[in-house]
Amino acid sequence: MIRVLIADDERLEREALADLVVRRFEHEAVIQTAENGRRAADTAILWEADLILMDIEMPGINGLDAARAVLEQRPECKVIFVTAYSLFQYAHEAMHLGACDYLLKPVDPDEAEAAIRRAIRQIEAGRKLAELAADTAEAEDRNALVMAHVRRYMEDNYMFDLSLDSVSEILHISPAYLSAQFKKYQKMNFLDCLTELRINAAKQLLTDPLRSAAEVASMVGYEDASYFARAFKKRTGMTPTQYRREAARQAREARL
């Protein structure tokens, strides 16, 4: 079961989210609620929450600060921020903290369900990695299986601050050993795989003309937009802006 904490200072919003989780995740999740940021942080740590649906604007400490306090002690906890404010600085800071998603109020039930399901996949992938690392099965088969799950974990978490060090810490192995094993079984090195996942995701996001290149960079895991642009051009031969224009041109031609 996934432990889901719902934190919102508005009672009706809290109850609506709780009802959604109960109805759509009846056999997958148990819930707790919190009415402010301080209570949310304390409950998440003591109850060992797996996932938090966190309102940003709350009295006391806001949702961003509450999430930061939780993640310092429970870095494996996933956070979906919920807010009535569509501000890029909120989204940027949320992604920097490692948020799974960012939902705008009034929350669309289907969008919320999709975001929660993505978070659950990430939680389960992390648990599976930890279980596999402790498994005593045959070494060769075990290593192949572990590296396959590392790849899946990367596919679910490429947008966060992912690195050899962070994944090797989950597996309790050295970064050098993880690097060698990943390349052996996945036929490419860890950084190339991570870059490929991020650039492929960026290609999809760049087709939306309302998203700036800087916003896309943040959404796929790059804090430095200039570094993202260089990495994107190295992979595709085009800058993000050039790629956006070319994708738009091809879309127009396809409609003719």
Q: pTM for this one?
A: 0.58
In angstroms, how far is the first alpha carbon of the chain from the final one? 50
What is the arithmetic mean of pLDDT over 196-224? 92
Task: Determine whether 89 is exposed, middle or buried from the number of CB atoms within 10 Å of its CB (0-12, 13-18, 19+).
Answer: exposed
Q: What is the pLDDT of residues 99-147, one digit of tens each?
A: 778 888 889 999 999 999 989 988 888 887 777 665 544 556 678 888 8
What is the arithmetic mean of pLDDT over 40-50? 92
What is the arithmetic mean of pLDDT over 30-59? 92
| Predicted local confidence at residue 140, as pLDDT | 61
What is the arithmetic mean of pLDDT over 88-96? 63
**What string of H, E and C letters represents the secondary structure of the chain?**
CEEEEEECCCHHHHHHHHHHHHHHCCCCEEEEEECCHHHHHHHHHHHCCCEEEEECCCCCCCHHHHHHHHHHHCCCCEEEEEECCCCHHHHHHHHHHCCCEEEECCCCHHHHHHHHHHHHHHHHHHHHHHHHHHCCCCHHHHHHHHHHHHHHHHHHHCCCCCCHHHHHHHHCCCHHHHHHHHHHHHCCCHHHHHHHHHHHHHHHHCCCCCCCHHHHHHHCCCCCHHHHHHHHHHHHCCCHHHHHHHHHHHHHHHHC
Q: Provide the edge-to-edge strand list for the sheet that holds 78-83.
A: 29-34, 2-7, 51-55, 78-83, 101-104
Q: Rounded CA gap, 159 and 52, in Å?
A: 18
Q: Could you give the C-alpha distances from 128 to 18, 31, 33, 133, 225, in angstroms and in order?
A: 27, 22, 27, 8, 33
User: Would you say 232 and 202 are in contact if contact means Cβ atoms under 8 Å apart?
Assistant: yes
**% of the chain exceeding 90 in pLDDT:** 54
Largest CA-CA distance found in the chain, in angstroms, rounded = 59
How big is the CA angle at 114 (ends 243 and 120), to the nearest 5 degrees?
110
Q: Residue 92: is its pLDDT beyond 70? A: no
Q: Residue 218: is its pLDDT beyond 50? A: yes
Task: Determine whether 204 is exposed, middle or buried from the number of CB atoms within 10 Å of its CB (0-12, 13-18, 19+).
Answer: exposed
| Predicted local confidence at residue 136, as pLDDT | 47
Q: Rounded CA gap, 228 and 209, in Å?
A: 18
